Amino acid sequence: MPTELEPLKVVELFAGIGSQRMALRLLGIPHEVVAISEINPKAIESYEAIHGPTLNLGDVRDIEHLPACDLLTYSFPCTDISIAGRQEGMTEGSGTRSSLLWEVGRLLADMVDRDIPPFALLMENVDAVTNNTFMPVLNRWISRLADLGYTSSYKVLNACDFVIPQHRRRCFMVSARNQMSFEFPIGEPTDLCLGDMMDCDVPESYFLSDEKVAGFTPLPAKADSRGIVIDGDLNDPKNLEIWNRVYSPLGLSPTLTALSGGGTVPRVHVIGIGGGGVYLLVAWTSPEGFPAVANRTGMFTAFAVFVLLSGSAGIRLSSWTPGGVSMSIEIDGQGIRIRYLTERECWRLMGQPDWAFDRASGAGVSRTQLYRQAGNAIVVTVLMAIFYGMYIAQTWCRRPTLDSFFGGVADV
C-alpha cells in the first residue's frame, strides 16, 4: 500500500475513457496513472482530451512488461460474456475477445517474477460473468490469482444504488496481497430519476419524426421491479423489442449499451412540446384522497404534476380511475414528443461530469463514438464507492489462514 505522502501509482488496462482515473480524481485521492492499455483510437482521443497525454502500451497481447504500480485495473472485453453478445465465453486459449483476461494473468505473473506485484487489482465486467455458464472459468481465474499471492472478493453492484438513475448491474472484483479481503460498499437506492439527468433544450435532430411517433402505442406507465418505467412502444417490426420501447423520465434509465447510436439509444417521452396529446400515468388514491403519481422517489399529487408542466396552457385532469391503474392528463396545444437520449445525457448516466464530456466532444469525437464510449464505460460513482473503501475508509479484513489458527508460539 502507498503511504499518505506517496501518490497511488495506477495502470489501467482496457482503459476506455478512463473511468477509474476519473473516480480517483473526483475523490481527491493523489494518484499517478503510469500507463494505460487501449487500442481503440477514438477512445484514446477521448481519454487524452479528458486526462491529458498518457503512456499507452497498446494491445495487451503485445505488452511484454508492465511498469511497477500499486493498483492494476482491468475491465476486459465483455463481448463474449454479455447476454447481448456472442456468448462464446472467456476460456483461456479460446481466442475470444473476452479471453484477453488471461493476458492480464500473464503480465501479472511477470510482475510477481520481477518482485514488483501491485498490492491491489480491480476487475469489472457484466454480471453474466457470475452465471452458471461462466462461473467455472471465473473460479479458475480466482485460483490463478491465488497462485500469484492474491485474495479475491467480488460482488455485483447496481448503479442505481450509487446515485445514478440507471439500472446497470456489473460484477466488480478486488484482489489484494497479504491475505487482505475487501468488504464492498452496500449503497442505497437513488432518489433521482431519468428526468433529473435530461436537458430541457435539445436540438430538433434528436426528436422522432411525426411519422414515427404516429406508430406510438401508449401503455399504462408502470415501474417494473428494476424501477424502469416503460410508457409504450413504436411497433416497428424491424426492431428488437428493447429498441421499440419508449421510457418515462419518471423512472430509471435502462442499461446503456455500447451499440453505436441510432435506434439503439433509449427513447424517452418529452412532455409539453409540440401540438396535441395525452400523457398516461399510473395513479392511485393518496391518503388525502387526491390522485398520486408513481415515482421512484415516492408519491406526489396530481397538482405537483401540473407544476412540473408549468408553462403549458389548458392543463386539466381529463380522466382518473379512483384507486385504479391510470390517469390521463390532457394538455391543450402542448403534446408529447419522443426523442433519443443525447450523448451528454448518456455520459451523465455513467457518472461522468459535464466538463469531461465537453472535453471529449470538443476534441471532435463523433456522436456515434460518444454514445459507444458511454455504453462501454464504468459508472464513476460505483468506482468512487469502491475506491473510497479501498483507500479512505480502509474496509479491509485479513482472511484467516491455517497458520493463524495453528502457528505461532504457545504462551502457556
Q: What does the pLDDT read at residue 92?
A: 83
Between 366 and 282, whose confidence is greater? 366
- 204: helix, strand or coil: helix
Share of the chain above pLDDT 90, in %: 59
Cβ-Cβ contacts under 8 Å for 209 (sequence gap 6 or more) = none
Q: What does the pLDDT read at residue 211?
A: 85
* Spatial distance between the Cα atoms of 188 and 158, rounded to a whole number of angstroms: 10
Rg of the Cα atoms in the chain: 24
Would you give the DSSP letter of residue 145? H
Tens digit of each residue's pLDDT (9 = 90 or more) over 91-106: 888 888 888 999 999 9
DSSP secondary structure string for all residues of 148-170? TT-EEEEEEEEGGGBT--B--EE
Cβ-Cβ contacts under 8 Å for 229 (sequence gap 6 or more) = 221, 222, 223, 247, 248, 250, 251, 252, 294
Is the separation of the CB atoms in 43 and 17 below 8 Å? yes
pLDDT-wise least confident of 16-30, 217-231, 299-313: 299-313
Per-residue cell: 99 = 479471453
Between 287 and 340, whose confidence is greater? 340
Q: What does the pLDDT read at residue 83?
A: 62
- 11: helix, strand or coil: strand
* CATH 3.40.50.150 residue spans of the chain: 8-190+348-406
Instruction: Give me the residue label for grid cell 395525452.
Output: 278
* Spatial distance between the Cα atoms of 137 and 211, rounded to a whole number of angstroms: 49
Residues 235-264: what's their mean pLDDT? 84
pLDDT-wise least confident of 31-35, 269-273, 394-398: 269-273
Cβ-Cβ contacts under 8 Å for 4 (sequence gap 6 or more) = none
Average pLDDT over the chain, rounded to whole? 82
Strands 31-37 and 71-74: unpaired
* Spatial distance between the Cα atoms of 142 and 135, rounded to a whole number of angstroms: 10
For CA atoms 130, 131, 134, 139, the dihedral sign is positive
Tell me the H-state helices in 309-353: 343-348
pLDDT-wise least confident of 121-125, 245-249, 325-329, 344-348: 325-329
Residues 173-202: what's their mean pLDDT? 94
pLDDT beyond 60 at 258: yes
Per-residue cell: 381 = 460513482
Strands 71-74 and 8-13: parallel
Q: What does the pLDDT read at residue 88?
A: 78
Taking each helix axis as running N to C, give the angle between helix 367-376 and helix 41-51, from 0 to 180 degrees, rounded to the nearest 10.
80
Q: What does the pLDDT read at residue 127?
A: 92
In terms of Cα–Cα distance, which of 203, 11, 25, 268 is closest to 118?
11
pLDDT beyond 70 at 406: no
Per-residue cell: 390 = 479501498
Residues 339-346: what's their mean pLDDT? 95
In terms of Cα–Cα distance, which of 236, 237, 256 is closest to 340?
256
pLDDT beyond 90 at 326: no
Strands 217-223 and 229-233: antiparallel
Neighbours of 84 (CB within 10 A): 16
Residues 329-356: what's their mean pLDDT? 81
In terms of Cα–Cα distance, which of 359, 356, 349, 354 is closest to 379?
349
User: What is the residue type of 405?
Assistant: F
- Beta-strand runs (E) in 203-352: 217-223, 229-233, 245-247, 267-271, 278-281, 283-285, 291-295, 298-301, 315-320, 327-331, 336-340
Tell me the H-state helices in 152-255: 210-213, 241-244
**Band of residue 408 on the pLDDT scale cut at 50, 70, 90:** very low
> Exposed (0-12), middle (13-18) or buried (19+): which is 292, by Cβ within 10 Å?
buried
**Band of residue 266 on the pLDDT scale cut at 50, 70, 90:** very high
Kindly report the backbone phi and psi dihedral angles of residue 400, in degrees, each rounded to the nearest multiple of 5, phi listed first: -65, 145
pLDDT beyond 80 at 276: no
Q: What does the pLDDT read at residue 400?
A: 67
pLDDT beyond 60 at 249: yes
8-190+348-406 folds as Rossmann fold (3.40.50)
Q: What does the pLDDT read at residue 312?
A: 35
Between 224 and 13, whose confidence is greater? 13
Q: What does the pLDDT read at residue 380?
A: 97
Tens digit of each residue's pLDDT (9 = 90 or more) over 69-127: 999 999 988 887 866 556 678 888 888 888 899 999 999 999 999 999 999 999 999 99
Tens digit of each residue's pLDDT (9 = 90 or more) over 133-170: 899 999 999 999 999 999 999 999 999 999 999 999 99
Tens digit of each residue's pLDDT (9 = 90 or more) over 373-395: 999 999 999 999 999 999 999 99
Share of the chain above pLDDT 70, in %: 77
* Spatial distance between the Cα atoms of 75 and 81, rounded to a whole number of angstroms: 13
* Spatial distance between the Cα atoms of 121 and 112, rounded to a whole number of angstroms: 13
CA distances from 104 to 170, 172, 273, 332, 399 (A): 19, 16, 51, 60, 24
